[in-house]
Amino acid sequence: MNIIVCMKWIPDTSEADLTVSPGAKDIKKDDLDFDMNDWDRFAIEEAAQIKEKVGGKVTVVSVAPEESEDMLRECLARGADEAFQIWSDEMEGGDGYATASVLASFINGRPHDLILTGTLAEDDGAGQLGGMLAEMLGIPSATLASRIEVQDKKVAFVRELEGGLYEAMEMDLPCLIAVATGLNEPRFVSIRAVRKVASIEIPNLGTGELGVGADKIGHAGARIEIEKIELPPEGEGAEIVKGKPEEVAARLAEILKEKGAIA
């Protein structure tokens, strides 16, 4: 069983004061910390669990600059057998389509039975990469998988639908599955596990090694053009209600009536 997991390295904006970069095409990222996309954390855990059950090899790959090496080493500590970093300066500014093109070139030259990704990325929430990558590879795909079981040359899985519904499906291998959060419980990565993989080489591949044309990467290969990014307008702020409990309750009732929340 050859499993390939596609990882994304994203900026952590959860507690940051965001500002828009000059040109209004992106946010400023110089002072932001970067980390593994949380959806992908469940994908690498699922790959490790499948390998433990049925055997095989887990390969992780990320289209990201050299600074993402710590993320890939964490994947090795989580159970991956090898990791690859794909990057060249020309890849800057690419969208999901451009990234899928690069990943397809990488995967086409390698044995693959099951490809796992996260359904979404926390930075853009596009949810496009899995489907586009599967189409480029000519294999079936599904998203939002909340349970996966490999059975001989097939994979059975359950995926989430709207309204709290689920559907059980089955696909032939090779295939691509984009997983949901909550699919499993990602394991704790100990310092010992990190040290164990510290000396493993992580090759950095560029366009030359993959044979990807310049028209398929970065801005040139992107199918989506961002016209403008802007922060939401600031509100007037919260009103702090002070006083005795009965006074605060009365004022709160007034505010709710003024806003139409209660009659």
- Residue 38 half-sphere exposure, CB side, CA atoms within 13 Å? 10
3-state secondary structure of 56: coil
Closest Cα partner for 243 from 235, 254, 252? 252
- pLDDT above 80 (res 49): yes
Q: How far is CA 37 from CA 41, 181, 184, 231, 238, in A?
A: 7, 11, 15, 22, 32
Q: Does an H or E element contain 257, and which?
A: helix 245-258
pLDDT of 226 reads: 87
Distance CA 131, CA 144 (A): 12
φ and ψ of 77, to 5 deg: -65, -25
Q: Is the pLDDT of residue 239 over 90?
A: no
So what's the pLDDT on residue 240?
86
Greater confidence (249 vs 19) lies with 249
The whole-number pLDDT of residue 245 equals 93
List Cβ neighbours of 14 (8 Å cut-off, separation of 6 or more).
Answer: none
Please give the Cα distance from 176 to 212 (Å, whole number): 21
Position 158 confidence tier, pLDDT thresholds 50, 70, 90? very high
Average pLDDT, the chain: 92
pLDDT for res 130:
95
In tens, the pLDDT along 57-112 reads: 999 999 999 999 999 999 999 999 999 999 998 898 889 999 999 999 999 989 99
Per-residue pLDDT band for 155 (boundaries 50, 70, 90) equals very high
Q: Using the CB atoms, write b or e for 38-70: b if 16+ within 10 Å.
A: ebbbbbbbbbbbbbeeeebebbbbbbbbeebbe
Write down the pLDDT at residue 52: 96
CB-CB contact of 222 with 94 (8 Å) = yes
pLDDT band (50, 70, 90) for residue 153: very high
For 8-44, how does the pLDDT look when each residue is reduced to its tens digit (9 = 90+)? 999 888 777 888 888 888 888 888 889 999 999 999 9
Q: Which helix (DSSP H) or strand (DSSP E) does residue 242 occupy?
A: none
pLDDT of 235 reads: 72
DSSP string, 123-182: TT----HHHHHHHHHT--EEEEEEEEEEETTEEEEEEE-GGG-EEEEEEESSEEEEEPTT
Confidence (pLDDT) at 133: 97
Q: pLDDT (tens digit, 9 = 90+) per residue, 201-227?
A: 999 998 888 888 888 898 899 988 888
Top-confidence residue, 229 or 139: 139
Whether omega for the bond prior to residue 174 falls within 30 degrees of 0, making it cis, is yes
263 pLDDT tier (thresholds 50, 70, 90): confident
Q: Decide if 174 contacts 2 (C-beta within 8 A).
A: no
How confident is the model at residue 23, as a pLDDT? 84
Report the pLDDT value the prediction gives residue 25, as an integer from 0 to 100. 82
Q: Is the pLDDT of residue 238 over 80?
A: no
| Structural domains for the chain | 2-221 (3.40.50.620)
56: left (phi over 0), alpha (psi -120 to 50) or beta: left
* Other Cβ atoms within 10 Å of 89 Cβ, number: 8
